[in-house]
Amino acid sequence: MNMDDLIKRVGVYAGVPVSDMKTRRGGRKTSRARQAFMYLSRHVLGETDSDIALFLGCSQQNISYQITGVEHDMRIYYSVRNMIDDIRSELEKKA
């Protein structure tokens, strides 16, 4: 699996078009999907922040900040943790 496959699967799960996830626009739903993609890219695919940044067309610092935010939100919000866990489970089933 690569980042192209992952972003498509996250988009399908979240109901967000891939084109929206690759831009900075969008509401909370799009932002959450983009953050989930960043988190899973690092923790499941083993991609570096610079690789993720290059893929999404943003800064490495932004990637680091967003992933730190997701990790924080996963400890506080069950919905965020459940979303990440559900996507991770789907990835493991299809792997």
- Integer angstrom CA distances of residue 40 from 33, 66, 88: 10, 12, 8
Q: Which residues contact 82 (CB under 8 A, 6 or more apart)?
A: none
pLDDT of residue 95: 61
Encode pLDDT of 9-24 as tens digits: 999 999 999 998 988 7
Instruction: Judge whether residue 25 has pLDDT over 90.
Output: no
Instruction: Judge whether residue 92 has pLDDT over 90.
Output: no
Encode pLDDT of 29-78 as tens digits: 899 999 999 999 999 999 999 999 999 999 999 999 999 999 999 999 99
Q: Which two tokens stand for residue 5?
A: 């496959």
